[in-house]
């Protein structure tokens, strides 16, 4: 991937995580990425396509990480590995987590399809582990609860109490989830 393209992706995600996509202008993105506005359109075509690329590439990586982290595990250990890995991914890329949270429940957006895939894929990954660990529970709703608890706690940590250790956060979540 070219350096220009990379810089644009990073700048766009950072700005959108903080202000939202619509409030982030291509001018702002270009300035922060230290490229000209024309380069943004040359590399991505439209503003929408730029954010679709951020979303789909980010989610593909996340799903791979979740699968690797839980491969071969079952029951409670699988759930613990999953929560731990998700938390580390959020720490690794908080901007992507913020962006995903903000867009997760919207339906009237250009990248509606991309975001739907994100949600379904991630919840589905978690639901498989839940179904295996607790066969008597509703997999989809339980997966949503675990995902929500980890995502919100992780972001509260990184955005408002970054001085805490990840182990502290992981413990608090796993104590709350059974």
Report the interface residues with a second copy, using CB under 8 A.
17-23, 98, 101-109, 119, 123, 137-138, 140-142, 144-153, 155-157, 159-161, 164, 168-169, 172-173, 175-178
SS3 83: helix
Which parts of 8-47 interact with DNA (CB under 7 A)? Answer: 24-27, 34-39, 41-43, 45-47
> What angle, rounded to 10 degrees, do the helices at 139-160 and 94-103 form?
130
Which parts of 73-112 interact with DNA (CB under 7 A)? Answer: none
**Closest approach of Cβ 106 to DNA, in Å?**
16
> What angle, rounded to 10 degrees, do the helices at 112-133 and 75-92 form?
150
**Closest approach of Cβ 52 to DNA, in Å?**
12
17 binds, among a second copy, DNA, none (CB under 5 to 8 A by kind): a second copy
**Closest approach of Cβ 154 to a second copy, in Å?**
9
Using CA atoms, how far apart are residues 137 and 134, in angstroms rounded to an integer? 6
Nearer to a second copy, 33 or 126 (CB): 126
**In angstroms, how far is the first alpha carbon of the chain from the final one?**
42
Nearer to a second copy, 5 or 97 (CB): 97
Query: Rounded to 5 degrees, what are φ and ψ at 35?
Result: -135, 170
147 binds, among DNA, a second copy, none (CB under 5 to 8 A by kind): a second copy
**Closest approach of Cβ 170 to a second copy, in Å?**
10
If binding is defined by CB under 7 A, does position 6 make contact with DNA? no
Q: Are 16 and 28 in contact (CB under 8 A)?
A: no
Q: Which residue has the tokens 């992780």?
A: 154
CA dihedral over 108, 112, 115, 121, signed as positive or negative: positive
Using CA atoms, how far apart are residues 101 and 151, in angstroms rounded to an integer? 8
Instruction: Give the residues lining the site for DNA (CB under 7 A).
Output: 2-5, 24-27, 34-39, 41-43, 45-48
């Amino acid at each position: 991937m070219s350096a220009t393209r990379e810089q644009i992706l990073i700048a766009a995600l950072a700005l959108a995580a903080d202000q939202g996509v619509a409030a982030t202008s291509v001018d702002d993105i270009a300035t922060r990425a230290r490229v000209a506005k024309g380069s943004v359109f040359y590399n991505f075509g439209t503003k929408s396509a730029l954010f679709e690329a951020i979303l789909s590439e980010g989610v593909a990586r996340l799903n791979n990480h979740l699968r690797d982290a839980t491969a071969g595990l079952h029951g409670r250990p699988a759930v613990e590995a999953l929560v731990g890995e998700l938390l580390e991914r959020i720490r690794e890329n908080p901007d992507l987590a913020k962006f995903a949270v903000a867009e997760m429940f919207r339906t009237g957006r250009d990248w509606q399809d991309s975001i739907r895939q994100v949600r379904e894929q991630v919840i589905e990954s978690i639901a498989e582990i839940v179904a295996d660990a607790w066969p008597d529970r509703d997999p989809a709703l339980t997966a949503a609860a675990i995902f929500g608890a980890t995502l919100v706690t992780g972001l509260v940590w990184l955005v408002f109490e970054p001085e805490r250790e990840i182990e502290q956060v992981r413990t608090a979540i796993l104590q709350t989830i059974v």
